[in-house]
Structure 1
Amino acid sequence: MAQLTTENLIDIRRHLHAHPELAMHEFETHQYLLAVIKGVNQQYLEIREVPDLPTALLVYIHGSDPKRTIGYRTDIDALPVTEKTGLPFASKTPGVMHACGHDIHMTVALGVLSWFSEHQPKDNMVFFFQPAEESQNGGKVAYEQGVFAGKWRPDEFYGLHDNPNLPAGAIGCRMGTLFAGTTEVNVDLIGKSGHAAYPQDANDMVVAAAQFINQVQTIVSRSVNPIEGGVITFGKLDAGTIRNVIAGQARIEGTIRGLTQKMIEHIVDRLKQVANGVATSYGATVNIAFNQGGYLPVENNDELTKRFINFAKQDPQTQFIETQPAMTGEDFGYLLSKIPGTMFWLGVEDDSALHAATLNPKESSIPKGVNSIVRFLEFRQGESVL
C-alpha cells in the first residue's frame, strides 16, 4: 500500500470508532492497527509487540542520518460510555465508546507514521500505541516494564489530545503544564452504630463525614495560592443502612487535581491533617488512602515546547492557538516526567465535551493534524519547511 490518503484515514477512523475497547482489553484494536501498519511501506520500519503488555504496539523507523530518536505516542482505549451520536459508524460495543476521541488520536498517528514510511526521516522515530490511558495508567506500566530501553527509548516524546473547543485542525499548546495531575482519594470513617433515639450511645459517622467534607473545602480556599489553583472533589458518599439507625461507618471517594506535583503533594498533606483532626474531634478512626498511579501533571519541557510553539506560530499551514492549562488528567504526564517532551491539543470543533456520549469530532481535523505534525517533525530534524 502507498501512503495513506485522507479517504483511507477517514475509513480507519470510522472503523476504530465503531469498535472501541476498554483499558487493557484493546485486542481487536491492536490487531487492526497492526494490519494497517503492515500495509504501509516496510523498508524503514521495525514493528514490536510486547508480550507482557499484549495490546501495546511500537514501531521503529530507521533514520537516514540519525542524531536522536523522536518518540510519538497515541492512546488506544475507550470509555465505558453508551454512545448517543446516532452516527452510521457509531459504537457496535454496548456501553463502550471512544468518547475521548482516541480514535482520532490513533488515526492521526497512523497518518504521520504512513508519511515517514514513504519519506525516510533523518532521525530515528518510535511510535508508541499505548493501551489504558483512561484507567490503569498504561504509560506507567509500559515504562516500568522497560519497554523504552535501548534504541526504543526516545530522546524526546510528543503526543496530542483532541479538543472540541478549538477549530478543526488547529494546534493548541502552552509552556509549562498543559493538563493537571490527578490523585484518587478514599476516606473511611469508623465509629459506632446505634439506635437513632439514643445518640449518646453511638458515634455517628454521618456527622463526622459531614464535618470532614466541610473542613476540606477550606483547603483550596485558604491553603492554596489562588494563582496556582487546585481542586478537591468528593463525588461519592456512602453511609448508613436505614433512617432510624445511626451510621457507624462512612466512606467518601473523591479526586484531587493540581497543575504541579508539588501542589498535589501539598493538598494530600492537608487532607491528612484534616483527617487526623476529625478523628480526634469525633473519637473515630479515619483511614485515608491516595492513589495517583501514572497520572502526574503533564508538564511540557521548556526547550522543546518553545521550539514547538515557535514553529506552529510561524508555519503558514498551521493555525496555532495558545491555550490555558486544563484540570483534566492524562497519563502522558508520567512519561514526560521520565522523558522530555511536549503534549499539545488538536482542535476537533464540536459542541459536545470530551467524555460526552454525543461527542462527534470533525473529521476534517485529521488531515490538518497529520500535516502540521509532519511539518513540525521534519522541521525538528533540521529540514526546515518555512
Structure 2
Amino acid sequence: MAVLTEKNLIQIRRDLHAMPELALNEFRTAAYLEKVITGFNQQYLTIKHVPDLPTALLVRVAGSAPQRTLGYRTDIDALPVSEKTGLPFASKNPGVMHACGHDIHMTVALGVLSYFSEHQPTDNLIFFFQPAEESQNGGKLAYELGVFEGEWRPDEFYGLHDNPDLPAGAIGCRLGTLFAGTTEVNIDLEGKGGHAAYPQDANDMVVAAAHLISQVQTIISRSIDPIEGGVITLGKLEAGTIRNVIAGHAHIEGTIRGLTQVMIEKIDQRLQEVGDGIAKSFNADVTVTLNQGGYLPVENDPELTQPFIDYMENASDVNYIETKPAMTGEDFGYLLSKIPGTMFWLGVEDDSQLHSATLNPNEAAIMAGINAITGFMTDRMAR
C-alpha cells in the first residue's frame, strides 16, 4: 500500500468512530488498527503485542542511521457517552462514543506511520497505540509492564490531543504544563445514627460533612499560590435515608486538579489535614482516600518543547497558536514523568466541547496534523 491518502484517512476515521470501545476492551479497535498497519510497506516495521495488555499495539520503524529513538503515542479508547450527532457513521455501540476525539488521534497516528513506512526515517521511531487513557491509566500499566525497554524505549515521546476551540489543523502548544494532573478523592465519615428528636444521643455525619466541605473550599483560596492554581471539586455527597433519622455515615467523592505534581501533593496533604481536623472536632472517624493512578500533570520538557515550538512557528504550512494550560487530565503525563517529551493540541474546530455527545471534529484537521508532525519529525531527525 502506498502512503494513505486523505480519502483513505477520512474513511479510517469514520470506521473507527463507529466502533468505540471502553478502556481495556478495545479489541475490535486494536484488530482494525493492526489490519491497516499490516497493509503498509513492512520493510522497516516491527509489530509488538503485549500479552498482559492485549489491546495495546506497538510498531517500531527502523531508522537508516539512528542517533536516537523518537516515540509517538496515540490513545484508542472511548467514553461511556450516548452519541447524539446524527452522523451516518455514528457509534454502533450503544452508550459508547469517541466523544474525546480519539478516532482523530488514531487516524493521525496511522497517517504518520504510513508516511514513514514509505520514507524510511533517519532515527528509529516507536508508535504506541495505547488503550485505557480515559480510565484505568493505560500508559502507567504499559510502563510498569516493561513495554518500553531495550530497543522499544523512546529517548523522547510526543503525542497530541484534539481541541475543538482551535481552528481545524492548527497546532497548539506551550512550555511547561499543558494539562493538569488529577487525583480521585473519596472521603468517608463515620459517626453514630439516631432519632432526629434526640441529637444528643447521636453523632450527625451530615453536619460533619457540611463542615468538611466548607473547610475544603479554603484549601485553594488560602493554602495555594493563586499564580499556580489548583482545583478541588467535591461532586458527590451521600448521607442519610429518611428525614427524621440522623445519619451516622456520609460519603463524599470528588477530584483534585493541579498544574504540577508538587502542587497536587500539597493539596493532597492539606485535604488529609482537614479530614483529621474534622475527625477531632466531631469525634468521628474520617477516612480520606486519594488515588492518582497514572494521571500526573502533562509537563512538557523544555529542551524538547522549545525546538518543537520553533519548528511549528516557522513552518509555512502550519498555523501555530500558543495555548494556556488546561485543567483537564491526560494520562500521557505519567509517560512524560518517565521519558522526556512534548504533548500538543491539534485544532478540530467544533462548537461542541470534548466529552460532549455532539462532538463532531472537522476532518480537515487530519491531513494538516499529519503534515505538521511528519515535517517536525523529519526536521528533528536532521539535528
Give the deviation of 1:98 after TM superposition: 0.2
1:208 alignment partner AA: A
Runs of 4+ in 1 over 4 A off after TM superposition: none
- Taking the TM superposition and a 5 Å limit, the aligned residue runs for 1:94-105 are 94-105=94-105
RMSD of the TM alignment (CA)? 0.5
Any idea what the Cα deviations from partners look like across 1:348-369, whole Å, max 9, x if unmatched? 0000110000000000000000
In structure 1, the residue matched to 2:354 is: 354
Give the deviation of 1:305 after TM superposition: 0.1
In structure 2, the residue matched to 1:336 is: 336
CA distance in 2, matches of 1:268, 1:64: 48
In structure 2, the residue matched to 1:185 is: 185
CA distance in 1, matches of 2:214, 2:332: 33
- Taking the TM superposition and a 5 Å limit, the aligned residue runs for 1:82-231 are 82-231=82-231
1:299 alignment partner AA: E
1:15 alignment partner AA: D
> Does 2:298 align with 1:298?
yes
In structure 2, the residue matched to 1:67 is: 67
Any idea what the Cα deviations from partners look like across 1:321-380, whole Å, max 9, x if unmatched? 000000000000000000000000000000011000000000000000000000000000
Give the deviation of 1:262 after TM superposition: 0.4
Give the deviation of 1:2 after TM superposition: 1.1
Which ranges in structure 2 are unaligned for 5 or more consecutive residues?
Answer: none
Matched residue SS, 2:253: strand
Matched residue SS, 2:351: coil
In structure 2, the residue matched to 1:80 is: 80
1:121 alignment partner AA: P
CA distance in 2, matches of 1:120, 1:309: 24
In structure 2, the residue matched to 1:14 is: 14
Give the deviation of 1:241 after TM superposition: 0.7
In structure 1, the residue matched to 2:274 is: 274
1:193 alignment partner AA: G
CA distance in 1, matches of 2:162, 2:171: 9
> Does 2:248 align with 1:256?
no
CA distance in 2, matches of 1:168, 1:138: 28
Give the deviation of 1:270 after TM superposition: 0.5
Matched residue SS, 2:353: coil
Any idea what the Cα deviations from partners look like across 1:29-82, whole Å, max 9, x if unmatched? 000000000011111100111111000000000000000000000000000000
CA distance in 2, matches of 1:3, 1:43: 14
1:379 alignment partner AA: D
Any idea what the Cα deviations from partners look like across 1:263-304, whole Å, max 9, x if unmatched? 000001110111011111111000001000000000000010
2:371 alignment partner AA: N
Matched residue SS, 1:111: helix
Matched residue SS, 2:154: coil
- Taking the TM superposition and a 5 Å limit, the aligned residue runs for 1:299-338 are 299-338=299-338
Matched residue SS, 1:237: strand
Any idea what the Cα deviations from partners look like across 1:216-245, whole Å, max 9, x if unmatched? 000000111010000000010000011110
In structure 1, the residue matched to 2:379 is: 379
> Does 2:234 align with 1:234?
yes
CA distance in 2, matches of 1:50, 1:289: 31
Matched residue SS, 1:343: strand
Matched residue SS, 1:139: helix
> Does 2:286 align with 1:286?
yes
Give the deviation of 1:130 after TM superposition: 0.1
Give the deviation of 1:204 after TM superposition: 0.3
Counting aligned pairs with the same residue, the percent is 74
Any idea what the Cα deviations from partners look like across 1:124-169, whole Å, max 9, x if unmatched? 0000000000000000000000000000000000000000000000
CA distance in 2, matches of 1:241, 1:366: 52
CA distance in 2, matches of 1:301, 1:20: 32
CA distance in 2, matches of 1:106, 1:137: 18
1:63 alignment partner AA: G
2:241 alignment partner AA: T
Matched residue SS, 2:366: helix
CA distance in 2, matches of 1:369, 1:169: 6
1:353 alignment partner AA: Q
1:48 alignment partner AA: K
CA distance in 1, matches of 2:54, 2:273: 42
CA distance in 1, matches of 2:20, 2:345: 22
CA distance in 1, matches of 2:262, 2:61: 37
CA distance in 2, matches of 1:269, 1:48: 41
In structure 1, the residue matched to 2:47 is: 47
CA distance in 2, matches of 1:277, 1:26: 44
Which ranges in structure 1 are unaligned for 5 or more consecutive residues?
Answer: none
CA distance in 1, matches of 2:381, 2:272: 48
Aligned residue pairs: how many? Answer: 383
